[in-house]
Chain A
């Protein structure tokens, strides 16, 4: 059984704001019956059309989907549209005292519905991610065909929640959770997004101090390289850093793997790309 917090239970047993608003200013719909969850969000604005004075929802989904919808409607009442747009899926989860990681996609669905509602109200293009097979106006490339999720949406969720593994991306967005065909593409997206983040961090210091370089090497190993090895059942450990020389030891499936030489080269290339071009990687027993 899921380890739901008391607050989650309270919200799915007694959800707030279920229903509809007949003269709603904004309506956002995401999800579908086939996907297994869907949310329709109704917003009513004040006379100046700035603040949300009422919010209602209808949700098809599990306990945490109902609770996330209920939490979202409570959180946005009284907020301006821009304030509401600032709410992250993590804040929805936090409002509920946390969600099991496998259920984080429920909080993401809440955030999505809100974005769609506000974008439609403002006459903007509907955000490209709306995970709905029926929407034609999607932008971006569909990565997960089963749930109709685009690269733009996945990049955003990966960056916002600092997701490192394809499994986490599945838990947060459902992408890759059905046929699994897009998991390689998801891994590429993670590498790109987290690579960008590491690169941004790298650009700040003009010249790397030794300490900063060591931090960056560790950062890249933790966030960039090890998650990719985990995906194949492998792992590595950082043994030592001596100037530009990085010593690593392979673990699990990588230890004794015939292609560990290639893996070491891959690690070296990543570190050269993301940290410093003079790095050499050496595999040691340890």
Chain B
């Protein structure tokens, strides 16, 4: 099946070059990097190389990279470390539009006596930095703000936020799972103390992530046990996955310009043509700075899961902020935080492209989606009223 995969913010295809890089480290070069023999030692060298490659993509030093199992682990490790390192501080600041990996943890921490402030966003998904200035105080242990939103692609002004955070002496963490590999980052010139990334969002396999930890920032490990990762993350290294992540980061640097030119142009064309062809649609976060690959578009009077199921019949894979796709009954917390009108909150679709996306695939979506929306509206009592009034 030649699927048209436009759900790259959910997960990505493992690049074949990445797969080739990791392949020998299962059945042949399976040594433990900690072992005192040549067989483990050669794997250690490849793990070191991978660490340097990840660091290079972030503009960081290799020893500032800690390998983890996933983005969620990196997020949990960062926030838990901050509050353990500063036990006297009892306040955490985050945003209403974070990924559940951060939001659920913070909300759970309120039950343990922490004060959590969730910063709101405006209708375009933008933060109000004045609100941050008002709520941050000497009791704030950590500020955790995502680099870019997974649903809308809206990019937050991380360095402006970091400047405010540093002034008050709090730690600054960013969940950059959606940003790494899509936009250039330079930790050497950044205010970020800790940054989370996930392999499977940038063409590495699932089950590998990393936490950037700025040199000198206090750290309390999330997993304790062996001495791996300089005592910062115990557990035998997932060598093949680490090596894969290193290769994926190297490739991401090479494709960065293409992501921000060719891929962005495809996204912009998809957005422009869908908006021209389909009445009563709106772009979520359209006026805010956004990732080059993400389009969140809402259609009035039609429900998102139905759109996805009809797209799926045309082998087009996308995602939805609708309630019905998640098993929850409300539209996504991100769209609600943005105050997306209820007439279209249930009909939001996310297309997320990658460097593997082609012109022809975008042509297909532009051809197939308008009749699907029209069909959904014809079935819907509200859509019929709308179509009748539109003539």
Residues of A whose CB lies within 8 Å of any CB of B are 9, 12-13, 15, 18, 20, 29, 33-34, 36-40, 58-63, 65-66, 102-103, 146-147, 170, 174, 177-178
- Apart from the given pairs A177-B330, A178-B330, 8 other A-B contacts in the complex at a CB distance below 8 Å: A13-B309, A33-B301, A36-B330, A36-B346, A40-B381, A60-B302, A63-B324, A178-B329
| Separation of A62 and B380 alpha carbons in the complex (Å) | 11
* CB neighbours of B304 from chain A (8 A): 62
| Separation of A131 and B346 alpha carbons in the complex (Å) | 17
Question: Contact at B329–A62, with CB atoms within 8 Å?
Answer: no
Question: Contact at B303–A58, with CB atoms within 8 Å?
Answer: no
* Interface members, chain B 295-332 (any A CB < 8 Å): 301-306, 309-310, 313, 322-325, 327-331
* Interface members, chain B 363-391 (any A CB < 8 Å): 378-384
Question: Contact at A61–B306, with CB atoms within 8 Å?
Answer: yes
Q: Provide 5 A-B residue pairs closer than 8 Å at the C-beta atoms, listed in order of the A residue.
A: A13-B309, A13-B310, A33-B346, A33-B382, A38-B381
Q: A33-B346, A174-B329 are in contact. Are A62 and B306 (CB under 8 A)?
A: yes
* CB neighbours of B331 from chain A (8 A): 36
Asked if B254 is at the interface of the complex by the 8 Å CB criterion, the answer is no
* CB neighbours of B356 from chain A (8 A): none
Contact with A along B169-189 (1 / 0, CB 8 A): 000000000000000000000
Question: Contact at B305–A63, with CB atoms within 8 Å?
Answer: yes
Contact with A along B83-109 (1 / 0, CB 8 A): 000000000000000000000000000
Question: Contact at A61–B324, with CB atoms within 8 Å?
Answer: yes
Question: Contact at B380–A60, with CB atoms within 8 Å?
Answer: yes
Q: A62-B322, A66-B379 are in contact. Are A177 and B305 (CB under 8 A)?
A: no
Our pick among B313, B324, B330, B342 for the contact of A62 (Cβ within 8 Å) is B324
Asked if B280 is at the interface of the complex by the 8 Å CB criterion, the answer is no
**Shortest Cβ distance from B373 into chain A, in angstroms?**
13
Question: Contact at B329–A60, with CB atoms within 8 Å?
Answer: no
Q: A29-B381, A36-B329 are in contact. Are A66 and B306 (CB under 8 A)?
A: yes
Residues of B whose CB lies within 8 Å of any CB of A are 301-306, 309-310, 313, 322-325, 327-331, 342-343, 346, 378-384
| Separation of A147 and B330 alpha carbons in the complex (Å) | 10
Chain B, Cβ-Cβ closest to A178: B330
Chain A, Cβ-Cβ closest to B328: A177
* CB neighbours of A9 from chain B (8 A): 309
**Shortest Cβ distance from A249 into chain B, in angstroms?**
28
Task: Choose among A39, A61, A65 the residue with the greatest number of B CB atoms under 10 Å from its CB.
Answer: A61
Q: A38-B382, A60-B301 are in contact. Are A170 and B306 (CB under 8 A)?
A: no
* CB neighbours of A174 from chain B (8 A): 329
Question: Contact at A58–B329, with CB atoms within 8 Å?
Answer: no
* CB neighbours of A147 from chain B (8 A): 329
Question: Contact at A61–B384, with CB atoms within 8 Å?
Answer: no
Chain B, Cβ-Cβ closest to A147: B329
Chain B, Cβ-Cβ closest to A38: B381
Chain A, Cβ-Cβ closest to B320: A62
* CB neighbours of B328 from chain A (8 A): 177
| Separation of A59 and B375 alpha carbons in the complex (Å) | 12
* CB neighbours of B327 from chain A (8 A): 102
**Shortest Cβ distance from A99 into chain B, in angstroms?**
12
Question: Contact at A36–B378, with CB atoms within 8 Å?
Answer: no
Question: Contact at A61–B342, with CB atoms within 8 Å?
Answer: no
Our pick among B306, B313, B330, B343 for the contact of A33 (Cβ within 8 Å) is B343
* CB neighbours of B380 from chain A (8 A): 38, 58-61
Question: Contact at A170–B381, with CB atoms within 8 Å?
Answer: no
**Shortest Cβ distance from A257 into chain B, in angstroms?**
16
Q: A33-B342, A60-B302, A62-B303 are in contact. Are A15 and B379 (CB under 8 A)?
A: yes
**Shortest Cβ distance from B339 into chain A, in angstroms?**
13
* CB neighbours of A18 from chain B (8 A): 378-379
Chain A, Cβ-Cβ closest to B313: A13
